Amino acid sequence: MRKTHAHIHAHAYIYRSRLHRLVTVLFLVLPFAFFLFFAEVAAISSTKLFMDIGISVVRMCVAYVIALALAWICAVLFYQGRRAVVALPFFDVLQSFPTFAALPLASYFLGPSNTTVIFFLVLTIIWPIFFSIISSLHLIRRDWREAVEISQLSGFSYFKLFLLPVTIPGMVTGSLIGLGDGWGALVATEIIVGSHRGLGSFFNLFSRNPRITVFGILGFLILIFSINKLVWTPLLEWSHGKMEE
Amino acid sequence: MKPLITLKNISKHFVEEGDKSVVALADISLEIFPGEIFVFVGPSGSGKSTLLRIISGLEKDFKGEVIFGDEVRQHDFSFVFQQFALLPWLTVAENISVGLVARNLSIHHIKERVNKELKRFGLERFANEHPRELSGGMRQRVGIARALATDPKVIFMDEPFSELDSFTSEELRKELLRIWENPAWGEEVAHTQPRPTIVMVTHIVEEALELADRVAVLTPRPARIERIVTNNLPRPRALRSQEFYTLEDELYRLIKP
C-alpha cells in the first residue's frame, strides 16, 4: 500500500493538474511543430532540418555523458585532502583555458569530425558540473559521514546509498549550467570546424539569410526551453527536495 | 571482570588560528566494563564529544591508547548522534537498514530485521516516509533503531536526547532502558542475549543518573577525570527519591563550570 501511495505522490508531484499535463504535451509538440512550420515557410527541406537538429542533439548527449562521468570521477577523487590542495588550483587554471583558441588547430589535425566537436563540447560542459559536484561534496554534513563510517558501508553500497545521492544535486545544477554553455559552444564549434552536419552547419549555410537565421534561433530557443521544462526543472526540484531535512 | 574498553592516557589538542595549540583532553585513563551504561558529564566545551569520538574510532588524531577486549571489533559498534544524522534521501526503513546492508546480509534477513526495529519503535506507519516528514522524537527513534539493528556490543551515544523536548526525551530514555534490559526483544526463540555496553555523553545530570551505572565527571578544558561516581540506585529509578537527589547534588558539586 505504501508503495502505491508513493507512486501516486510522485505522479502528483510531476503533473499537478490536467492543465499541467496539457502544457507538458505542448512542450513536447511545440518545437517539432515550429520546425515543420519553419521548414515550410523558409522553403527548406524538413528532413535536412531535423537531421541537423538530431545530429547536434546526439553530439550534445554523447559529450554530456562523457563530461558527466569524467567530472564525477575527478570530483570524487580530488575534492579533499592533499590531493585537493594540488589538484583544485590546477583544475581552476584548466577551466579558464580558452578552448576555442585551440579549436582551429584541432580541426586542422582531426578534421571536421564528430570527435572534434564532441571533444570541445566536453571541455566546455565539464567544468560547471565538476565544480558543482565538488561543492555538493563539501556540503556533506560531518555526522552523515560519521554515520556511514560507523556502519562500515563500503564498495558498491557506499556508492549507491551515499556517494551518488549526495552528489546528485551538484550533478543536476552543474548540468544545467554546463548544457547552457554547451548549446552555444556546440553551434560555434560546428561552425568553426566546418562540420557538414548539425545546427552549426545549418546556421552557417543560411548566414546571409536573416529571416531564416532569426527563425532558426527562435526554434533553437523553443527546443532548449522545452528540454529545460521537461527535464531539468523537475530534476532540479526533485534532487534538492531529496536533500531537505 | 575484564574491562571491555580501556583508555590509557588519552590526550588531544587542537590547533586554533595563529597556530595556537589548545589542549582539549589531558591524560584520561579509565575502564568500561561489558554490559554497563557509562556516562560522561561535564561542562559545555569540556571535550566530552571529542572523547566519545576518540573511543568510537571516529576521531583518529589523538595521543594515548584505546584498548578493546578480545571479543569486540569495530564491526560491533554503533553510534547515536545528537542531531540524528539520518540520511535525508533515504526512507525510514532504508536508514535503519544501512548497517545491515554494509554487513552483506540477505535481503530477506535485512527486511526481517528492519521490520523488527520498526515494530519495536512504533515506526511501522512511517517506514516509507523520509526523515523530514518526522518529528524530532520520531527521528531519534529511527536513529536508535538504526544503531540497534546490527546487534551492537557497544553503543556510543552523543547527547542523544538534547535536541528533544523533555517529554519525548523522558519517553525515549525509558524505551532505551527497556531495550538495554531486554535486548532479545521480539526474537521468536527466547534466548538470553548479553546487554550491550552503552557509552554516553550528556550535559544533563538527571539524565546521567537515570541511566548510568557509573558517571565520569570531566573538568573544564583541558578535560581530565574529576571523579567517577558509581550509581547503585535500583532500576527503575525513582527520580524524586532522596537518594537520587543526594547523588544529583554530589554531581552538581563536582561539575565546575
Strands B197-202 and B154-158: parallel
Q: What is the pLDDT of residue B75?
A: 87
CA distance linking residue B252 with residue B246, whole number of Å: 10
* C-alpha distance from A175 to closest chain B C-alpha (Å): 20
pLDDT reading at A1 higher than 60? no
Mean pLDDT for A132-155 is 94
- Residue B160 falls within a domain, yes or no? no
- Looking at the fold, whether B94 and B31 belong to one and the same domain comes out as no
Q: What is the pLDDT of residue B110?
A: 96
Fold of the domain spanning A2-242: MetI-like fold (1.10.3720)
- Residue B52 falls within a domain, yes or no? yes
- Looking at the fold, whether B77 and B174 belong to one and the same domain comes out as yes
Query: Is residue A7 very low, low, confident or very high in pLDDT (cuts 50, 70, 90)?
Result: very low
- Identify the burial level of B61 via C-beta atoms within 10 angstroms of its C-beta, where 0-12 means exposed, 13-18 middle and 19 or more buried: exposed
- CA atoms A60, A61, A64, A66: torsion sign: negative
- Looking at the fold, whether B44 and B91 belong to one and the same domain comes out as no
Q: Report ipTM (2 d.p.).
A: 0.90
- Looking at the fold, whether B181 and B257 belong to one and the same domain comes out as no
A170-184, B106-120, B177-191: least confident range: B177-191
Query: Is residue A12 very low, low, confident or very high in pLDDT (cuts 50, 70, 90)?
Result: very low
DSSP string, B117-166: HHHHTT-GGGTTS-GGGS-HHHHHHHHHHHHHTT--SEEEEESTTTTS-H
pLDDT reading at A16 higher than 60? yes
Task: Give the model confidence (pLDDT) of B215-231 as tens digits.
Answer: 999 999 889 999 999 99
pLDDT reading at B25 higher than 70? yes
CATH of the domain at B190: 3.40.50.300
Query: Is residue B125 very low, low, confident or very high in pLDDT (cuts 50, 70, 90)?
Result: very high
Structural domain boundaries enclosing B100 = 73-152+165-195
For residues B157 and A43, the model is more confident at B157
- Looking at the fold, whether B93 and B189 belong to one and the same domain comes out as yes
Q: What is the pLDDT of residue A182?
A: 92
Query: Is residue B87 very low, low, confident or very high in pLDDT (cuts 50, 70, 90)?
Result: very high
- Residue B90 falls within a domain, yes or no? yes
Q: What is the pLDDT of residue A9?
A: 45
Q: What is the pLDDT of residue A13?
A: 54
Are A2 and B58 within 8 A, CB to CB?
A: no
Q: Does A149 touch chain B (CB under 8 A)?
A: yes
Task: Give percent of chain B with pLDDT exceeding 90.
Answer: 77
pLDDT reading at B189 higher than 60? no
Q: What is the pLDDT of residue B187?
A: 62
The order of strands in the sheet holding B5-16 is B20-32, B5-16, B63-68
Question: What's the mean pLDDT when you consider all of chain A?
Answer: 86
Residues of B in contact with A139 (CB under 8 A): none
How does A172-199 read in b/e, with b if 16+ C-beta sit within 10 Å? bbbbbebbeebbebbbbbbbbbebebbb
- Residue B157 falls within a domain, yes or no? no
Closest in A2, A148, A153 to B128, CB measured: A2
Residues of A in contact with B128 (CB under 8 A): 2-3, 5-6
Contact by Cβ (8 Å): B222, B25:
yes
- Residue B159 falls within a domain, yes or no? no
- Looking at the fold, whether B97 and B45 belong to one and the same domain comes out as no
- Looking at the fold, whether B133 and B221 belong to one and the same domain comes out as no
pLDDT reading at B71 higher than 60? yes
Are A150 and B127 within 8 A, CB to CB?
A: no
Helix (H) or strand (E) holding A66: helix A46-78
The C-alpha torsion from A47 through A51 and A57 to A58, rounded to 10°, is 140
CA distance linking residue B166 with residue A15, whole number of Å: 42
The structural domain count of chain B equals 2
- Looking at the fold, whether B31 and B96 belong to one and the same domain comes out as no
Query: Is residue B185 very low, low, confident or very high in pLDDT (cuts 50, 70, 90)?
Result: low
Task: Give the model confidence (pLDDT) of A207-219 as tens digits.
Answer: 888 888 888 888 8
Report the range out of A78-92, A184-198, A203-217, B93-107 with the highest average pLDDT: B93-107
- Looking at the fold, whether B90 and B177 belong to one and the same domain comes out as yes
- Looking at the fold, whether B94 and B188 belong to one and the same domain comes out as yes
Question: What's the mean pLDDT when you consider all of chain B?
Answer: 92
Of the residues B179, B195, B211, the one at which a domain ends: B195
Are A151 and B131 within 8 A, CB to CB?
A: no
- Residue B60 falls within a domain, yes or no? yes
Are B89 and A165 within 8 A, CB to CB?
A: yes
* C-alpha distance from B51 to closest chain A C-alpha (Å): 15
Mean pLDDT for B12-32 is 88
Q: What is the pLDDT of residue B182?
A: 82
- Looking at the fold, whether B107 and B189 belong to one and the same domain comes out as yes
CA distance linking residue A145 with residue A138, whole number of Å: 11
Are B78 and A151 within 8 A, CB to CB?
A: yes
Report pTM.
0.85
Closest in B53, B94, B102 to A154, CB measured: B102
pLDDT reading at A228 higher than 80? yes
Q: Which residue type, as a one-letter code, is found at position B190?
A: A
Q: What is the pLDDT of residue A99?
A: 81
- Looking at the fold, whether B19 and B81 belong to one and the same domain comes out as no
The closest of A71, A38, A21, A34 to A230, measured between CA atoms, is A21
Query: Is residue B50 very low, low, confident or very high in pLDDT (cuts 50, 70, 90)?
Result: very high
- Residue B146 falls within a domain, yes or no? yes
pLDDT reading at A3 higher than 80? no
Q: Does A156 touch chain B (CB under 8 A)?
A: no
- Residue B38 falls within a domain, yes or no? yes
pLDDT reading at B48 higher than 60? yes
